[in-house]
Structure 1
Amino acid sequence: MRADHEGEPIALWLNSIGIAAFVLRYRVAPYQYPCALKDVQRAVRYVRHFANDYGINGSKIGVLGFSAGGHLTTTIGTHYDSGNPDAEDPIDRESCRPEAIIPCYPVVTLKPPFTHEGSRMNLLGVESDPVMVDALSNESQVTPDTPPTFLWHTADDEAVPVENAILFASALSKNKVPFELHVYEKGRHGLGLAEEDSHVATWTSLCGTWLERQQF
């Protein structure tokens, strides 16, 4: 996510509703998979390990991301582990499974016709390994243990088709994972808090209510 648009302003909004927030600056191109995934896994472990020092609940960690960051959000929601109990570094002993994920106008699938080609190329290179394309098409990686999810998208998004969010929501439904999906009729890609669009801007209040219901 862009720190000046989809980073710090989002953290400040979360702060305004009583939720502590951290902005992750993860590795992007020229770095490729699994760098970004390792970064977010480490971030979740780190926050969980030092939760008492920060005065926060280490059993209530969520991950929120936009667009390609939304793909990373659905990736950590489907590619996590319980930690390595034998690790020398105590942080690596922590689970990296979040308790909630919030993908916003996310890239979810790496398969045509609905993927965002630039995101797939940045993640896996020009010649993408079909095995990795399958593994990182996160709609196919959902299980009943996938964290509760809040998704939103706009129906006329020309950059990342709304089918990405719908595919993920469908997979959550099939696996009986609690989720909430909001699709707005109109709105360009990359709206962030959507302060310029009063209709789409309602996503923050809806998400805040959902987070409260998840006991965040």
Structure 2
Amino acid sequence: MKILSLCSFALLTSLFSASSIPAAAQTAAPSPLEILKSLPPAIPLWPNGAPGARGDTEADKPRLYAFPPQTKSTTTAVLVIPGGGYAHVSMGHEGIQYARWLNAQGVTAFVLDYRVAPYQYPVEIQDGMRGMRYVRSHAADYGIDPNRIGVWGSSAGGHLASTLGVHGNDAPPLPEKSDSIDQTDARPNFMILSYPVVSMQPPIAHTGSMNNLLGEMPYAQMQQKFSNQLGVNAQTPMTFLFATTGDPTVPVENSLDLYRALERAHIPVELHIYDYADHGCGLCGSIPELATWPLLLRNWLIHENWLPTDAPPMPPAAPNYPFWPPGLDGPGKPQP
């Protein structure tokens, strides 16, 4: 894979007027149950039971949802990891909606539905690694290139995604229920991180994500290990970052520190910070000040050769999928 030397730091304040934003779709966003009914069949990550499972309920069964595009324009694929503070999984606006956006440009997407609290480390990270390994080991089945698989994580999903990119196959060791899939590389070829949690160390850590993953009194060495800006290395893949200066939930310093670490390591990185205060807006189609960011992402994907220059045009901005109540998010949600 050709790696381009691209390091750009863009502070976007008022570069785009509301008139430059694609017109929002007029149809209303679907309800949570409508979204559930549109899900493809679930792919269990471990058909015979997940490692560390505490029971046999839906909440104990991590899974993937595959979203192949109607018209494929590339052999690139993306594993989408929704956020939720390691407390729930925001499958709608940070999962399925991302997958549909990728599909519209001919990209195959997979959405990860992983275990969350009361599960703690290493379970969530094992689920993330297994998701990437499943996609890569089944690349031929989906007509994708195993060397063109990215990861897209938001908020706490951004922490899990960046853990895959920074630690690769080393965090954590293989689970006890290891098989041939677990011998596959878990490191993505590129990362897309939306308003991500990156650090597990105060003062910039998101306390809820840290406590849910590592416990309320985490060991300092674990906080350091999973402060992913500290672990960037030559194998860390190229990265696209999107954040807002006034993020009220995850300090923008998470993105800034990761950007600086990637730049020091000479890893291609592009960072876009909007002068706005928001967290968890997904594609942000309902917020004119932020709705341009997916276009910047598309341009980056084309520039880095993950999308062809003649990829289908980006669809118009659409209303965000609703924020689901926790009972409808993540493993254990009611089935349609």
Give the TM bin, normalised by the shorter chain. over 0.9
Of Structure 1 and Structure 2, the greater helix share is in: 1
Across the two proteins, how many residue pairs are aligned to each other? 214
**In structure 1, which of residues 31, 42, 46 is the aligned counterpart of residue 130 of structure 2?**
42
TM-score by length of 1: 0.95
Which residue number in structure 2 is paired with residue 107 of structure 1? 197
The one-letter code of the counterpart of 1:43 is: G
CA deviation after TM superposition for structure 1 residue 202, in Å:
1.3
Moved over 3 A (4+): none
Which residue number in structure 2 is paired with residue 116 of structure 1? 206
Q: What SS does the corresponding residue of 1:24 show, helix, strand or coil?
A: strand
CA deviation after TM superposition for structure 1 residue 130, in Å:
0.6
Which residue number in structure 2 is paired with residue 89 of structure 1? 179
CA deviation after TM superposition for structure 1 residue 100, in Å:
0.4
Q: d(CA) in 1 for partners of 2:199 and 2:107? A: 30
Q: Is the 8 A contact 1:27 1:39 kept in 2?
A: yes
CA deviation after TM superposition for structure 1 residue 199, in Å:
2.9
Relative distance call for 1:176 and 1:54 in structure 2 (3 A) is: same
Which residue number in structure 2 is paired with residue 186 of structure 1? 276
Q: d(CA) in 2 for partners of 1:130 and 1:44? A: 28
How do residues 17-56 of structure 1 correspond to structure 2 at under 5 angstroms?
A: 17-56=105-144
Percent identical across equivalent pairs? 45
How do residues 57-72 of structure 1 correspond to structure 2 at under 5 angstroms?
A: 57-72=145-160
CA deviation after TM superposition for structure 1 residue 194, in Å:
0.2
**In structure 2, which of residues 260, 265, 290 is the aligned counterpart of residue 170 of structure 1?**
260
Q: Is the 8 A contact 1:100 1:148 kept in 2?
A: yes
Q: Is the 8 A contact 1:65 1:73 kept in 2?
A: yes
Q: d(CA) in 1 for partners of 2:183 and 2:222? A: 26
Q: What SS does the corresponding residue of 1:107 show, helix, strand or coil?
A: coil
CA deviation after TM superposition for structure 1 residue 89, in Å:
2.6
CA deviation after TM superposition for structure 1 residue 88, in Å:
7.3
The one-letter code of the counterpart of 1:117 is: T
Query: For each residue in 1:163-212, what CA deviation from the matched residue of structure 2 results, as whole angstroms up to 9, or x when unmatched?
Result: 00000000000000000000000031111010111231211111112112
Which residue number in structure 2 is paired with residue 150 of structure 1? 240
Q: d(CA) in 2 for partners of 1:28 and 1:197? A: 29
Q: What SS does the corresponding residue of 1:23 show, helix, strand or coil?
A: strand
Indicate the structure whose relative CO is greater, using CA pairs within 8 Å and at least 6 residues apart: 2
The one-letter code of the counterpart of 2:149 is: I
Q: What SS does the corresponding residue of 2:217 show, helix, strand or coil?
A: coil
Q: What SS does the corresponding residue of 2:115 show, helix, strand or coil?
A: coil
CA deviation after TM superposition for structure 1 residue 215, in Å:
2.2
Q: d(CA) in 2 for partners of 1:182 and 1:104? A: 10
Q: Unaligned regions of 5+ residues in structure 1, if any?
A: none
Q: d(CA) in 2 for partners of 1:42 and 1:208? A: 27
TM-score by length of 2: 0.61
The one-letter code of the counterpart of 2:290 is: V
